[in-house]
Amino acid sequence: MKKVVIIGGGAAGMMAAGRAAECGAKVTLLEKTDSLGNKLLITGKDRCNFTNTAPLKEFIAKFGKKGSFLYHAFYNFFNEDLREFFKKFNVPSKEERGGRIFPQSDKSEDIQGALVHYIKKSGVKILLGKSVKEIIRRGKSVCAAKTKDDEIIECDRVILCTGGMSYPGTGSAGDGYRIAKKLGHTIVHPRAALVPLDTVEKWTNELSGLTLENISAKAMYGQKKICEEFGDMLFTHFGVSGPIILSMSKKIAESLESGKVFLHIDLKPALSFEKLDLRVQRDFVKYSNKAFRNALDDLLPKSLIPIIVRLSNILEDKPVHSVTREERIKLVTLFKDLRLEVSRAHPIEEAIITSGGVALEEVDNHTMESRLVKGLYFAGEILDLDAPTGGYNLQMAFSTGRIAGESAAKK
Protein backbone atom coordinates (compact mmCIF):
# COMPACT_ATOMS: atom_id res chain seq x y z
CA MET A 1 0.00 0.00 0.00
CA LYS A 2 1.42 3.35 -1.08
CA LYS A 3 1.77 6.03 1.59
CA VAL A 4 0.73 9.36 0.08
CA VAL A 5 1.03 12.76 1.75
CA ILE A 6 -1.05 15.64 0.40
CA ILE A 7 0.13 19.13 1.31
CA GLY A 8 -2.71 21.66 1.19
CA GLY A 9 -6.40 21.16 1.95
CA GLY A 10 -8.01 23.22 -0.80
CA ALA A 11 -9.96 22.10 -3.87
CA ALA A 12 -7.04 20.29 -5.54
CA GLY A 13 -5.76 18.83 -2.28
CA MET A 14 -9.06 17.37 -1.15
CA MET A 15 -9.81 15.91 -4.58
CA ALA A 16 -6.31 14.40 -4.75
CA ALA A 17 -6.58 12.99 -1.22
CA GLY A 18 -9.98 11.41 -1.78
CA ARG A 19 -9.02 9.88 -5.12
CA ALA A 20 -5.70 8.49 -3.84
CA ALA A 21 -7.51 6.84 -0.91
CA GLU A 22 -10.17 5.42 -3.26
CA CYS A 23 -7.37 3.89 -5.32
CA GLY A 24 -5.99 2.04 -2.30
CA ALA A 25 -3.35 4.38 -0.88
CA LYS A 26 -2.84 5.24 2.77
CA VAL A 27 -3.37 9.00 2.65
CA THR A 28 -2.46 11.79 5.05
CA LEU A 29 -3.66 15.32 4.29
CA LEU A 30 -1.69 18.17 5.87
CA GLU A 31 -3.35 21.59 6.08
CA LYS A 32 -1.57 24.52 7.73
CA THR A 33 -4.75 26.33 8.85
CA ASP A 34 -7.37 24.98 11.23
CA SER A 35 -9.94 24.21 8.53
CA LEU A 36 -10.27 22.80 5.00
CA GLY A 37 -11.36 24.52 1.79
CA ASN A 38 -10.94 28.06 3.09
CA LYS A 39 -10.63 29.68 -0.33
CA LEU A 40 -13.53 27.63 -1.69
CA LEU A 41 -15.80 29.29 0.85
CA ILE A 42 -15.18 32.77 -0.54
CA THR A 43 -15.18 31.80 -4.23
CA GLY A 44 -17.79 33.34 -6.53
CA LYS A 45 -19.05 35.77 -3.88
CA ASP A 46 -19.57 32.84 -1.49
CA ARG A 47 -21.60 30.95 -4.13
CA CYS A 48 -18.73 28.89 -5.64
CA ASN A 49 -18.76 28.89 -9.43
CA PHE A 50 -17.00 25.52 -9.64
CA THR A 51 -16.99 24.77 -13.38
CA ASN A 52 -18.34 25.84 -16.77
CA THR A 53 -20.33 24.14 -19.54
CA ALA A 54 -17.88 25.27 -22.25
CA PRO A 55 -16.80 22.44 -24.59
CA LEU A 56 -13.29 21.04 -24.20
CA LYS A 57 -11.50 23.08 -26.88
CA GLU A 58 -13.06 26.33 -25.69
CA PHE A 59 -12.25 25.44 -22.07
CA ILE A 60 -8.61 24.71 -22.96
CA ALA A 61 -8.36 28.00 -24.88
CA LYS A 62 -9.23 29.94 -21.72
CA PHE A 63 -5.80 28.97 -20.34
CA GLY A 64 -4.00 30.50 -23.32
CA LYS A 65 -0.96 28.91 -24.93
CA LYS A 66 -0.33 26.67 -21.92
CA GLY A 67 -3.84 25.20 -21.99
CA SER A 68 -2.81 22.13 -24.01
CA PHE A 69 -1.12 20.87 -20.83
CA LEU A 70 -4.62 20.13 -19.50
CA TYR A 71 -5.97 17.95 -22.33
CA HIS A 72 -5.30 14.67 -20.54
CA ALA A 73 -6.54 15.86 -17.14
CA PHE A 74 -9.77 17.19 -18.65
CA TYR A 75 -10.25 14.12 -20.83
CA ASN A 76 -9.98 12.03 -17.66
CA PHE A 77 -12.30 14.19 -15.50
CA PHE A 78 -14.22 17.12 -16.96
CA ASN A 79 -17.16 19.44 -16.23
CA GLU A 80 -20.01 16.91 -16.41
CA ASP A 81 -17.97 14.43 -14.35
CA LEU A 82 -17.48 17.10 -11.70
CA ARG A 83 -21.18 17.99 -11.61
CA GLU A 84 -22.02 14.30 -11.25
CA PHE A 85 -19.42 13.96 -8.48
CA PHE A 86 -21.09 16.66 -6.39
CA LYS A 87 -24.56 15.35 -7.20
CA LYS A 88 -23.58 12.04 -5.56
CA PHE A 89 -22.90 14.03 -2.40
CA ASN A 90 -26.34 15.65 -2.59
CA VAL A 91 -25.10 18.90 -4.13
CA PRO A 92 -27.03 19.39 -7.39
CA SER A 93 -25.92 22.25 -9.62
CA LYS A 94 -27.40 24.83 -11.97
CA GLU A 95 -26.22 26.74 -15.02
CA GLU A 96 -26.19 30.52 -15.20
CA ARG A 97 -25.22 33.07 -17.85
CA GLY A 98 -21.96 32.35 -19.64
CA GLY A 99 -22.16 28.64 -18.84
CA ARG A 100 -21.17 29.21 -15.20
CA ILE A 101 -22.08 26.34 -12.90
CA PHE A 102 -23.06 26.92 -9.25
CA PRO A 103 -24.53 24.69 -6.55
CA GLN A 104 -28.33 24.97 -6.65
CA SER A 105 -28.26 26.19 -3.07
CA ASP A 106 -25.94 29.11 -3.97
CA LYS A 107 -23.87 28.10 -0.94
CA SER A 108 -20.13 27.54 -1.28
CA GLU A 109 -20.15 25.63 2.01
CA ASP A 110 -22.09 22.85 0.27
CA ILE A 111 -19.18 22.30 -2.12
CA GLN A 112 -16.67 22.43 0.72
CA GLY A 113 -18.82 20.12 2.83
CA ALA A 114 -19.12 17.57 0.02
CA LEU A 115 -15.34 17.44 -0.37
CA VAL A 116 -14.75 17.07 3.37
CA HIS A 117 -17.32 14.26 3.44
CA TYR A 118 -15.59 12.64 0.44
CA ILE A 119 -12.15 12.51 2.04
CA LYS A 120 -13.47 11.34 5.41
CA LYS A 121 -15.56 8.63 3.73
CA SER A 122 -12.48 7.54 1.75
CA GLY A 123 -10.45 7.12 4.95
CA VAL A 124 -8.06 10.06 4.59
CA LYS A 125 -6.17 11.00 7.76
CA ILE A 126 -6.58 14.77 8.21
CA LEU A 127 -4.00 16.77 10.16
CA LEU A 128 -4.90 20.44 10.63
CA GLY A 129 -2.50 23.15 11.78
CA LYS A 130 0.41 21.33 10.12
CA SER A 131 2.66 23.62 8.09
CA VAL A 132 5.25 21.80 5.98
CA LYS A 133 8.81 23.12 5.97
CA GLU A 134 10.33 20.81 3.37
CA ILE A 135 10.03 17.58 1.45
CA ILE A 136 12.85 15.14 2.17
CA ARG A 137 14.44 13.07 -0.59
CA ARG A 138 16.30 9.79 -0.53
CA GLY A 139 18.34 9.83 -3.70
CA LYS A 140 16.04 11.05 -6.49
CA SER A 141 12.80 10.05 -4.75
CA VAL A 142 10.72 11.65 -2.01
CA CYS A 143 10.65 9.81 1.29
CA ALA A 144 9.08 12.18 3.84
CA ALA A 145 7.53 15.55 4.61
CA LYS A 146 8.95 17.65 7.44
CA THR A 147 6.66 20.04 9.30
CA LYS A 148 7.67 23.36 10.84
CA ASP A 149 7.68 21.76 14.27
CA ASP A 150 10.17 19.19 12.88
CA GLU A 151 7.76 16.28 12.75
CA ILE A 152 8.79 13.77 10.06
CA ILE A 153 5.94 12.08 8.16
CA GLU A 154 7.29 9.23 6.05
CA CYS A 155 5.73 8.54 2.67
CA ASP A 156 6.26 7.16 -0.84
CA ARG A 157 4.53 10.03 -2.63
CA VAL A 158 3.89 13.72 -1.98
CA ILE A 159 1.31 15.83 -3.80
CA LEU A 160 1.88 19.58 -3.49
CA CYS A 161 -1.47 21.40 -3.58
CA THR A 162 -0.55 24.57 -1.72
CA GLY A 163 -2.13 27.04 -4.14
CA GLY A 164 -0.64 30.36 -5.16
CA MET A 165 -0.13 33.60 -3.25
CA SER A 166 -3.61 35.12 -3.42
CA TYR A 167 -5.72 35.56 -0.29
CA PRO A 168 -2.89 34.53 2.07
CA GLY A 169 -5.36 34.57 4.97
CA THR A 170 -6.87 31.38 3.53
CA GLY A 171 -3.49 29.63 3.72
CA SER A 172 -2.15 30.16 0.19
CA ALA A 173 0.92 32.25 0.94
CA GLY A 174 3.36 30.82 -1.62
CA ASP A 175 4.81 28.08 0.62
CA GLY A 176 4.64 25.52 -2.17
CA TYR A 177 6.78 27.63 -4.50
CA ARG A 178 9.57 27.70 -1.93
CA ILE A 179 9.35 23.93 -1.34
CA ALA A 180 9.30 23.14 -5.08
CA LYS A 181 12.20 25.50 -5.79
CA LYS A 182 14.29 23.83 -3.09
CA LEU A 183 13.73 20.53 -4.91
CA GLY A 184 15.08 22.02 -8.13
CA HIS A 185 11.89 23.17 -9.84
CA THR A 186 11.68 26.38 -11.85
CA ILE A 187 9.07 28.84 -10.59
CA VAL A 188 7.59 31.14 -13.22
CA HIS A 189 7.39 34.55 -11.50
CA PRO A 190 4.06 34.72 -9.61
CA ARG A 191 1.84 37.66 -10.55
CA ALA A 192 -1.62 38.82 -9.59
CA ALA A 193 -4.35 37.50 -11.88
CA LEU A 194 -8.03 38.42 -11.63
CA VAL A 195 -7.70 41.60 -9.56
CA PRO A 196 -9.66 44.88 -9.39
CA LEU A 197 -8.15 48.01 -10.93
CA ASP A 198 -7.70 51.50 -9.53
CA THR A 199 -8.33 54.45 -11.83
CA VAL A 200 -6.95 57.97 -11.99
CA GLU A 201 -10.50 59.31 -12.28
CA LYS A 202 -12.12 59.65 -8.85
CA TRP A 203 -15.73 59.88 -10.05
CA THR A 204 -15.90 56.07 -9.94
CA ASN A 205 -16.29 56.49 -6.18
CA GLU A 206 -19.68 58.16 -6.75
CA LEU A 207 -20.83 55.03 -8.61
CA SER A 208 -19.48 52.48 -6.14
CA GLY A 209 -21.67 49.37 -6.24
CA LEU A 210 -23.15 50.05 -9.69
CA THR A 211 -22.91 47.13 -12.12
CA LEU A 212 -23.09 47.80 -15.85
CA GLU A 213 -24.36 44.74 -17.72
CA ASN A 214 -23.58 43.69 -21.29
CA ILE A 215 -20.99 46.34 -22.00
CA SER A 216 -17.67 45.97 -23.78
CA ALA A 217 -14.32 47.23 -22.59
CA LYS A 218 -10.94 47.27 -24.26
CA ALA A 219 -7.58 48.12 -22.74
CA MET A 220 -5.21 50.25 -24.79
CA TYR A 221 -1.47 50.79 -24.35
CA GLY A 222 -0.77 53.70 -26.67
CA GLN A 223 -2.21 52.62 -30.04
CA LYS A 224 -1.97 48.91 -29.17
CA LYS A 225 -5.04 46.99 -28.02
CA ILE A 226 -4.03 44.79 -25.10
CA CYS A 227 -7.30 42.93 -24.66
CA GLU A 228 -11.07 43.29 -24.99
CA GLU A 229 -13.99 41.70 -23.14
CA PHE A 230 -17.79 41.77 -23.22
CA GLY A 231 -19.93 41.31 -20.12
CA ASP A 232 -20.46 42.95 -16.73
CA MET A 233 -18.39 45.62 -15.01
CA LEU A 234 -18.62 46.91 -11.45
CA PHE A 235 -17.70 50.40 -10.25
CA THR A 236 -15.91 50.51 -6.89
CA HIS A 237 -14.81 53.28 -4.54
CA PHE A 238 -11.29 53.01 -6.00
CA GLY A 239 -11.99 52.20 -9.67
CA VAL A 240 -13.47 49.20 -11.46
CA SER A 241 -13.94 45.47 -10.97
CA GLY A 242 -16.41 42.78 -12.05
CA PRO A 243 -15.98 39.80 -14.41
CA ILE A 244 -14.65 41.56 -17.51
CA ILE A 245 -12.21 43.72 -15.55
CA LEU A 246 -10.89 40.74 -13.59
CA SER A 247 -10.40 38.82 -16.83
CA MET A 248 -8.37 41.67 -18.36
CA SER A 249 -6.40 42.58 -15.23
CA LYS A 250 -3.43 40.25 -15.78
CA LYS A 251 -2.55 41.70 -19.19
CA ILE A 252 -3.25 45.23 -17.99
CA ALA A 253 -0.94 44.78 -14.98
CA GLU A 254 1.86 43.58 -17.26
CA SER A 255 1.45 46.60 -19.57
CA LEU A 256 1.34 49.04 -16.64
CA GLU A 257 4.96 48.15 -15.90
CA SER A 258 5.91 49.85 -19.18
CA GLY A 259 3.54 52.82 -19.33
CA LYS A 260 0.00 54.16 -19.24
CA VAL A 261 -3.05 51.97 -19.89
CA PHE A 262 -6.51 53.32 -20.71
CA LEU A 263 -9.85 51.52 -20.56
CA HIS A 264 -12.26 52.33 -23.39
CA ILE A 265 -15.79 51.41 -22.31
CA ASP A 266 -18.64 51.00 -24.77
CA LEU A 267 -21.89 51.39 -22.82
CA LYS A 268 -24.00 50.41 -25.85
CA PRO A 269 -22.03 47.77 -27.81
CA ALA A 270 -25.16 46.42 -29.53
CA LEU A 271 -25.62 49.72 -31.38
CA SER A 272 -23.31 51.30 -33.94
CA PHE A 273 -22.40 54.96 -33.44
CA GLU A 274 -24.92 55.98 -36.12
CA LYS A 275 -27.77 53.90 -34.68
CA LEU A 276 -27.09 55.16 -31.17
CA ASP A 277 -27.09 58.74 -32.46
CA LEU A 278 -30.53 58.15 -34.02
CA ARG A 279 -31.74 56.67 -30.72
CA VAL A 280 -30.50 59.73 -28.81
CA GLN A 281 -32.20 62.01 -31.33
CA ARG A 282 -35.51 60.18 -30.80
CA ASP A 283 -35.18 60.60 -27.04
CA PHE A 284 -34.33 64.27 -27.46
CA VAL A 285 -37.54 64.75 -29.48
CA LYS A 286 -39.48 62.87 -26.80
CA TYR A 287 -38.02 65.02 -24.00
CA SER A 288 -37.49 68.23 -26.00
CA ASN A 289 -38.86 70.53 -23.30
CA LYS A 290 -37.04 68.90 -20.39
CA ALA A 291 -33.70 69.89 -18.89
CA PHE A 292 -30.80 67.90 -20.37
CA ARG A 293 -30.13 66.08 -17.09
CA ASN A 294 -33.67 64.64 -17.19
CA ALA A 295 -33.52 63.38 -20.77
CA LEU A 296 -31.23 60.37 -20.32
CA ASP A 297 -33.38 58.10 -18.14
CA ASP A 298 -34.15 55.72 -21.02
CA LEU A 299 -30.49 55.32 -21.88
CA LEU A 300 -28.53 55.09 -18.64
CA PRO A 301 -28.76 53.86 -15.03
CA LYS A 302 -29.92 56.75 -12.84
CA SER A 303 -26.69 57.00 -10.83
CA LEU A 304 -24.56 57.20 -13.98
CA ILE A 305 -26.49 60.14 -15.49
CA PRO A 306 -24.89 62.95 -13.39
CA ILE A 307 -21.41 61.66 -14.31
CA ILE A 308 -22.16 61.54 -18.03
CA VAL A 309 -23.77 65.00 -17.87
CA ARG A 310 -20.66 66.37 -16.17
CA LEU A 311 -18.26 64.70 -18.63
CA SER A 312 -20.27 65.92 -21.62
CA ASN A 313 -19.78 69.57 -20.59
CA ILE A 314 -23.40 70.24 -21.55
CA LEU A 315 -25.16 72.47 -19.01
CA GLU A 316 -27.40 70.21 -16.95
CA ASP A 317 -30.30 72.71 -17.00
CA LYS A 318 -30.05 73.33 -20.72
CA PRO A 319 -33.35 72.57 -22.50
CA VAL A 320 -32.97 69.47 -24.65
CA HIS A 321 -34.21 71.30 -27.76
CA SER A 322 -31.25 73.68 -27.36
CA VAL A 323 -28.58 70.96 -27.33
CA THR A 324 -26.45 71.42 -30.45
CA ARG A 325 -25.51 68.70 -32.92
CA GLU A 326 -21.88 69.05 -31.81
CA GLU A 327 -22.90 68.53 -28.17
CA ARG A 328 -25.06 65.54 -29.09
CA ILE A 329 -22.21 63.91 -31.02
CA LYS A 330 -19.95 64.39 -28.00
CA LEU A 331 -22.57 62.70 -25.82
CA VAL A 332 -22.84 59.71 -28.17
CA THR A 333 -19.04 59.49 -28.20
CA LEU A 334 -19.08 59.26 -24.40
CA PHE A 335 -21.56 56.38 -24.59
CA LYS A 336 -19.40 54.54 -27.11
CA ASP A 337 -15.99 55.42 -25.68
CA LEU A 338 -16.05 56.27 -21.98
CA ARG A 339 -12.40 56.42 -20.97
CA LEU A 340 -10.65 55.64 -17.71
CA GLU A 341 -6.93 55.69 -17.01
CA VAL A 342 -5.76 52.72 -14.94
CA SER A 343 -3.47 53.80 -12.10
CA ARG A 344 -2.69 50.35 -10.72
CA ALA A 345 -3.75 46.74 -10.49
CA HIS A 346 -4.39 45.51 -6.96
CA PRO A 347 -1.61 43.44 -5.32
CA ILE A 348 -1.27 39.67 -5.48
CA GLU A 349 -2.66 39.31 -1.95
CA GLU A 350 -6.02 40.54 -3.26
CA ALA A 351 -6.00 38.45 -6.44
CA ILE A 352 -8.61 35.75 -6.93
CA ILE A 353 -5.88 33.56 -8.38
CA THR A 354 -2.14 33.69 -9.02
CA SER A 355 -0.54 33.68 -12.44
CA GLY A 356 2.81 31.87 -12.61
CA GLY A 357 3.98 28.89 -10.58
CA VAL A 358 5.75 25.58 -11.19
CA ALA A 359 6.98 25.47 -14.81
CA LEU A 360 4.84 23.04 -16.80
CA GLU A 361 7.80 21.64 -18.78
CA GLU A 362 8.96 20.03 -15.54
CA VAL A 363 5.66 18.20 -14.90
CA ASP A 364 4.25 15.12 -16.69
CA ASN A 365 0.76 16.19 -17.76
CA HIS A 366 -0.48 12.56 -17.90
CA THR A 367 0.25 11.97 -14.19
CA MET A 368 1.10 15.40 -12.69
CA GLU A 369 4.36 13.86 -11.47
CA SER A 370 7.55 15.89 -11.36
CA ARG A 371 10.02 15.13 -14.14
CA LEU A 372 12.81 16.02 -11.71
CA VAL A 373 11.89 14.25 -8.47
CA LYS A 374 10.34 10.79 -8.39
CA GLY A 375 7.21 10.55 -6.27
CA LEU A 376 6.55 14.32 -6.24
CA TYR A 377 3.27 15.49 -7.78
CA PHE A 378 1.59 18.86 -8.30
CA ALA A 379 -2.05 19.91 -8.61
CA GLY A 380 -4.06 23.12 -8.75
CA GLU A 381 -2.98 26.73 -8.61
CA ILE A 382 0.64 25.93 -7.74
CA LEU A 383 1.06 25.08 -11.44
CA ASP A 384 1.78 27.82 -13.99
CA LEU A 385 -1.82 27.87 -15.22
CA ASP A 386 -4.56 30.49 -14.96
CA ALA A 387 -7.77 31.39 -16.76
CA PRO A 388 -10.44 34.12 -16.55
CA THR A 389 -13.38 33.96 -14.17
CA GLY A 390 -16.17 31.54 -15.03
CA GLY A 391 -15.35 28.31 -13.19
CA TYR A 392 -12.32 27.41 -15.31
CA ASN A 393 -9.68 27.63 -12.58
CA LEU A 394 -11.58 25.46 -10.12
CA GLN A 395 -12.20 22.80 -12.77
CA MET A 396 -8.45 22.82 -13.41
CA ALA A 397 -7.79 22.34 -9.69
CA PHE A 398 -10.24 19.43 -9.43
CA SER A 399 -9.07 17.73 -12.65
CA THR A 400 -5.34 17.98 -11.88
CA GLY A 401 -6.00 16.97 -8.26
CA ARG A 402 -7.92 13.88 -9.31
CA ILE A 403 -5.31 12.67 -11.79
CA ALA A 404 -2.47 13.39 -9.36
CA GLY A 405 -4.19 11.42 -6.59
CA GLU A 406 -4.91 8.49 -8.88
CA SER A 407 -1.39 8.43 -10.32
CA ALA A 408 0.29 8.71 -6.92
CA ALA A 409 -1.72 5.76 -5.60
CA LYS A 410 -1.33 3.48 -8.60
CA LYS A 411 2.07 4.21 -10.16
Residue 173 banded pLDDT, cuts 50, 70, 90: confident
Question: Which pLDDT belongs to residue 169?
Answer: 67
Question: Which pLDDT belongs to residue 120?
Answer: 98
Question: Which pLDDT belongs to residue 171?
Answer: 64
SS3 content of the chain, % helix, strand, coil (to 5): 40, 25, 35
d(CA 283, CA 71): 52
Residues 94-116: what's their mean pLDDT?
97
Residue 202 banded pLDDT, cuts 50, 70, 90: very high
Q: Is 75 left (phi over 0), alpha (psi -120 to 50) or beta?
A: alpha
- Distance of CA 316 to CAs 282, 311, 336, Å? 19, 11, 20
Question: Which pLDDT belongs to residue 350?
Answer: 87
Q: Is 116 left (phi over 0), alpha (psi -120 to 50) or beta?
A: alpha
pLDDT tens digit sequence for 52-64: 999 999 999 999 9
Phi, psi of 71 (to 5 degrees): -55, -50
DSSP helix/strand/coil, 339: strand
Residue 167 has pLDDT above 80, yes or no: no
Amino acid at 48: C
Question: Which pLDDT belongs to residue 352?
Answer: 86
d(CA 102, CA 93): 5
pLDDT tens digit sequence for 234-268: 999 999 999 999 999 999 999 999 999 999 999 99
Residue 411 has pLDDT above 90, yes or no: no
Question: Where is pLDDT greater, at 38 or 411?
Answer: 38
What domains, with CATH codes, occur in the chain? 3-192+351-410 (3.50.50.60), 196-346 (no CATH)
Query: What's the full length of the chain, in residues?
Result: 411
pLDDT tens digit sequence for 119-146: 999 999 999 999 999 999 999 999 999 9
Q: In sequence order, which ranges of 197-324 are alpha helices (DSSP H)?
A: 243-256, 273-286, 305-312
- Please return the burial class of 24, using the count of CB atoms within 10 Å of its CB with bins 0-12, 13-18 and 19+: exposed
